[in-house]
Structure 1
Amino acid sequence: MANYNIDAKKDMTYDAIVIGSGISGGWAAKELCEKGLNTLVLERGRIVEHVTDYPTMNLDPWDMDYRGRLTPEQRKKHYKNIRSGWVGADTEHFWADDEANPYTEVKPFLWLRGHQMGGKSLLWGKQTYRWSDLDFEANAKDGHGVDWPIRYKDIEPWYTYVEKFAGISGEALGLPQLPDSHFLPPMELNCVEKHIKGRIEKNFPGRNMIIGRVAHLTRPLNGRGQCQYRNRCSRGCPYGAYFSSNAVTLPAANATGKLTIRPYSIVQSVVYDDKKGKATGVRIIDAETNEDLEYSAKIIFVNASTLSTTQILMNSVSNRFENGLGNDSGELGHNLMDHTYRVGASGIVDGFDDKYYKGRRPNGIYIPRYVNLDEKTKSDKFLRGFGYQGGGFRGGNAANIESFGAEYKDSILKPGPWEFFITGFAECLPYHDNKVSLNKEVLDKWGQPTLSIDAEFKENEKALNKQIQEDAVEMLDKAGLKDIVGFDNEHPPGYGVHEMGTARMGKDPKTSVLNKFNQVHGAENVFVTDGACMTSSSCVNPSLTYMALTARAADHAVSELKKRNL
């Protein structure tokens, strides 16, 4: 697809370097290349070509050894990843090797990583929601963390910009707490979801239930095919229907002739020149040869994913920055956040036995935040808020049936009862003592310090989860479901895979790592636009905001470069 820098000595100087090729790195590459910059993307892992390198995209369980279950060798390789429940033989090639990439859990934390071209953009859930001023103003209003240096009006045009190119399907609601996007036609609720929507909205004024807003095409866009409702997204989509770097942004960058990708590049540090007062390049270790190399560029985007980005910045020491690049404030590595997850309720829906559905819709329902929006909805139990995702479905009848023979075979062809569930995603506050640090005692395969992660959900998150479960049970009860079960898996951070913070944006260099344009304080030609930059966590999925922040920062970077300010 792209120009690959396989011969390390061939080209060592570029206009821009992007570290990482995932959701934000892909956008950085696209924007910088389209603005005329010769751009080098440094990817830690292997090359993954769109379609060509999706080996399981069309396989059924019976096409795979052990029906898609992991072998003992694979389980050992992914001994931490498997706690998520998402790693199977159909996707394990896209998940990072835990043995080669260790980390230390001071407190329990699940760090899910994707080390290949495209990163976790091949694996993400694709739920895409705009933040609002309720989110950008939250820290200032309740005093937790520091104030965001931007507001919704600053990022609103960039949301529209990335949405038009990425392709977001969804339904407009006109809610101030969940601004509408530039939408493709929404996917459709099934019959049970429509029924429950009516019951919830009738019994709970102010609560809305809609189809999820997702980065899935419901009609062709820019040469990409629309979603085929296979729900095999995490294996790689041969139609390019869902957003990934491999299907969308990297091909756009490559079309300019300005893109070079170097795989197997373990970024050791960003090089800072004390005399020039700016970064001059990036040091890497070739993952295959262990050779040390250095690449030079005028601007650098660090988009390795939240914790990997911070690990690189912490390892980037110089006379000017003895404790990590941009760490004058001492906040680098602090304020780690994730969303709470896997708490809610489920139940059985009576009726609709003559109804079914076609296809495997890769999407569910969404109930936007409805608490702590204003004085009328204010809670005295907790700060911030939560939203729900979930859906209705019909399972099979094969389990727990006493019959056998022909009677049994007939019974398993009949669908079981309709079920419905909702699970909440709650905002985590930016606590200073939720942090990561370099562990120089535990080294990775390439002799580099690893991360120690010391983070936990605290009383506010636990109170949110309690309310999530109570409200979920009440809503399903009012909707007429039976056999309702409330649940809370009480998982540690990381399971939401929405890690944010550790290199936050802010107004004051004394309390933040980045400014309002995602530039590192004291090294303004270095930009961070992945999850590390986040100052708070909202309760909605963050990836759309990463895309918008990246496009905005790239625009600013090139503008400043032309003015010779960088």
Structure 2
Amino acid sequence: MANFNIDAKKEMTYDAIVIGSGISGGWAAKELCEKGLKVLVLERGPIVEHVVDYPTMNLDPWDMELRGGLTPDQKEKHYKAIRSGWIGTDTEHFWADDAANPYTEEKPFLWLRGHQMGGKSLLWGKQTYRWSDLDFEANAKDGHGVDWPIRYKDIEPWYTYVEKFAGISGEALGLPQLPDSHFLPPMELNCVEKHVKSRIEEQFAGRNMIIGRVAHLTQPHNGRGQCQNRNRCSRGCPYGAYFSSNAVTLPPANATGNLTIRPYSIVQSLIYDETKGKATGVRIIDSETNEDIEYSAKIIFVNASTLSTTQILMNSKSNRFENGLGNDSGELGHNLMDHTYRVGAIGKVDGFDDKYYKGRRPNGIYIPRYVNIDEKSKSDKFLRGFGYQGGAYRGGNPANIEAFGADYKDSILKPGGWEMFITGFAECLPYHDNKISLNSDVLDKWGQPTLTIDAEFKANEKALNKQIQEDAVEMLTKAGVKDVLGFDNEHPPGYGVHEMGTARMGRDPKTSVLNEFNQVHAAKNVFVTDGACMTSSSCVNPSLTYMALTARAANHAVSELKKLNI
């Protein structure tokens, strides 16, 4: 902690306040600090210093209790998040406590949260893809949701800007539906993936299979080390090889001398001044002392993660905004989206028994969207589209509990056969009735209203999933994969952990919350650049777009501040 200024009480007024320190909050802090503003970052959880606070980064399964499995107490603590299947002893300290942070599900919805410095940037999958005009124009063309107030040309230079700093590895394809990034060298497909790639691209015109584009360094970059292929990313990477706020954006923000981070700060609401027509500060509750504190700033970035950001805005009520700050349109809390997930196919691959791979590559394959990209690929079964992630691997040989001796020990060290799987991510349409609301009947331990989530996948998403499974089975079968089995876990929203919407951008204040620079229409000094701002969901991972939108909005905020417009 000695490396960060956490003594926020001495100074109650700042140039800017950033709520949250995850992917978008970290970028906001970096950009605003580097532009000379004194910035207060309000973090709900504890400080997590890079390397210092990664307790499990080097542990093997036998170093942990229950070989990494959760204890009964841990299961009770994470009684909702445990449904994801991703939480073990190695990472549970980075996942929010469900028991202390309840929420209500009108329909099943998995809300995964990370309450610490860095947020879910310590836990994310690092898949990073640019959106295209196919995505930014989709709402306007098919009439679902409202039109985005920006197009690809508006954000393209900011994609390049954040990519050059963060470090994105991948290969260029020249596809209009998946614009190329500024790339570091790509990771390598393994031998079976190369084989399947050649067969798919040979038999399916217009379909490509590439290595995933990821925020992993394949060579040293900006003082950070390259990926060591340990695949222990979500424990915290001591090499700084994958993108996290802790390793990438907060250190340079701190280096300016302009950053103050206040941990254990639960943001209760924004303070709105009706005479000035803007927000003047933030009210917090100190989670350790229960003390109420107010901080003031000229600019406020709300980046607490999609649902928490909107929860804060909804709880920021005043005479001017009886239903939440910026909610003149009535759209605050609506249009919640996530990607469908865990639907695809898996099978066995004969041959290649003399081949293996080095390390545990924290990445897989990607098959970009190939449906509904033009008239030739148009489908009459559904709107929008999907892409695939996946990979090939070798498992272990099953243990024979009746065997013993040297031959048995040798046998369990031999790898099993090859398997290949692909799983689809499909776009979810922005439905007005997929929503969240404040629940004053269920309060958290600090006496604040909790969230009720009421959202579901509808007919279009189910039709997309059906096509995903059918195409996955067909592609793997024609690629020579054996015993191909299609699957659809039919999970509810939340499992993709790509929550988007609820405070969308738009052209018209009557139908949206934010303008083209992520400013609240009726409070221009309040910016929202995390997933809450999204107007549609595309079918690719959204975090790279959050980064670009944040850098763009921070640049605009400082420009407007200098012009005395906010």
The amino acid across from 2:273 in the alignment is D
The amino acid across from 2:236 in the alignment is G
> Who is 2:407 aligned against?
407
Q: Distance in 1 between matches of 2:2 and 2:562?
A: 26
Q: Distance in 1 between matches of 2:87 and 2:304?
A: 21
> Who is 1:144 aligned against?
144
> Who is 1:106 aligned against?
106
Give CA deviations for 1:207-236 in whole Å, capped at 9, x if unaligned: 000000000000001110000000000000
SS in 2 for 1:504: coil
Give CA deviations for 1:308-353 in whole Å, capped at 9, x if unaligned: 0000000000111010000000000000000000000000001000
Q: Distance in 1 between matches of 2:2 and 2:324?
A: 33
> Who is 1:514 aligned against?
514
The amino acid across from 1:261 in the alignment is I
Distance 1:244 1:2, change over 3 A: farther
Give CA deviations for 1:108-144 in whole Å, capped at 9, x if unaligned: 0000000000000000000000000000000000000
* Matches for 1:278-297 after TM superposition, within 5 Å: 278-297=278-297
SS in 2 for 1:560: helix
Kept in 1: contact 2:8–2:260 (CA 8 A) = no
Kept in 2: contact 1:3–1:261 (CA 8 A) = no
Kept in 1: contact 2:339–2:498 (CA 8 A) = yes
Report the TM-score when normalising by structure 2.
0.99
> Who is 1:260 aligned against?
260
Q: Distance in 2 between matches of 1:402 and 1:360?
A: 31
> Who is 1:355 aligned against?
355
Q: Distance in 2 between matches of 1:428 and 1:407?
A: 52
Distance 1:165 1:5, change over 3 A: closer
Q: Distance in 2 between matches of 1:157 and 1:20?
A: 25
Give CA deviations for 1:37-67 in whole Å, capped at 9, x if unaligned: 0000000000000000000000000011110
Q: Which runs of 5+ in 2 are unaligned?
A: none
> Who is 1:85 aligned against?
85
> Who is 2:272 aligned against?
272
> Who is 1:176 aligned against?
176
Alignment partner of 1:48 is 2:48:
yes
Alignment partner of 1:448 is 2:448:
yes
Q: Distance in 1 between matches of 2:196 and 2:277?
A: 59
Kept in 2: contact 1:343–1:469 (CA 8 A) = yes
Distance 1:402 1:178, change over 3 A: farther
The amino acid across from 1:96 in the alignment is A
SS in 2 for 1:297: strand
Q: Distance in 1 between matches of 2:438 and 2:152?
A: 34
> Who is 1:313 aligned against?
313
The amino acid across from 2:9 in the alignment is K
Give, in angstroms, the shift of residue 521 of structure 1. Answer: 1.1
> Who is 1:537 aligned against?
537
Q: Distance in 1 between matches of 2:317 and 2:509?
A: 18
Distance 1:383 1:341, change over 3 A: same
Kept in 1: contact 2:8–2:261 (CA 8 A) = no
> Who is 1:154 aligned against?
154
> Who is 1:198 aligned against?
198
SS in 1 for 2:284: strand
Distance 1:6 1:217, change over 3 A: closer
Distance 1:3 1:288, change over 3 A: same
Give, in angstroms, the shift of residue 383 of structure 1. Answer: 0.2
Give, in angstroms, the shift of residue 408 of structure 1. Answer: 2.5
Kept in 2: contact 1:2–1:260 (CA 8 A) = no
> Who is 2:467 aligned against?
467
Distance 1:506 1:399, change over 3 A: farther
* Matches for 1:469-484 after TM superposition, within 5 Å: 469-484=469-484
Give CA deviations for 1:180-218 in whole Å, capped at 9, x if unaligned: 000000000000000000000000010000000000000
Alignment partner of 1:134 is 2:134:
yes
Q: Which runs of 5+ in 1 are unaligned?
A: none
SS in 2 for 1:57: coil
Q: Distance in 2 between matches of 1:53 and 1:4?
A: 14
SS in 2 for 1:461: helix
Kept in 2: contact 1:2–1:254 (CA 8 A) = no
Give CA deviations for 1:76-110 in whole Å, capped at 9, x if unaligned: 00000100000000000000000110000000000
* Matches for 1:411-426 after TM superposition, within 5 Å: 411-426=411-426
SS in 2 for 1:178: coil
Kept in 2: contact 1:443–1:450 (CA 8 A) = yes
> Who is 2:300 aligned against?
300
Alignment partner of 1:382 is 2:402:
no
Q: Distance in 2 between matches of 1:462 and 1:293?
A: 47
Q: Distance in 2 between matches of 1:488 and 1:399?
A: 29
Give CA deviations for 1:446-483 in whole Å, capped at 9, x if unaligned: 11000000000000000000000000000000000111
Give, in angstroms, the shift of residue 9 of structure 1. Answer: 3.1
Give, in angstroms, the shift of residue 6 of structure 1. Answer: 4.7
> Who is 1:550 aligned against?
550
Give CA deviations for 1:508-566 in whole Å, capped at 9, x if unaligned: 00000000000001100000000000000000000000000000000000000000000
Kept in 1: contact 2:12–2:294 (CA 8 A) = yes
Kept in 1: contact 2:6–2:260 (CA 8 A) = no
Q: Distance in 2 between matches of 1:544 and 1:292?
A: 35
The amino acid across from 1:347 in the alignment is G
Report the TM-score when normalising by structure 1.
0.99
The amino acid across from 1:295 in the alignment is Y
Q: Distance in 2 between matches of 1:565 and 1:2?
A: 37
How much is the aligned-residue C-alpha RMSD, in angstroms?
Answer: 1.0
SS in 2 for 1:298: strand
Give CA deviations for 1:371-417 in whole Å, capped at 9, x if unaligned: 00011000000000000000000000024686444333221111111
Distance 1:400 1:459, change over 3 A: farther
Q: Distance in 2 between matches of 1:385 and 1:142?
A: 13
Give, in angstroms, the shift of residue 4 of structure 1. Answer: 5.0
* Matches for 1:323-362 after TM superposition, within 5 Å: 323-362=323-362
SS in 2 for 1:416: strand
The amino acid across from 1:327 in the alignment is N
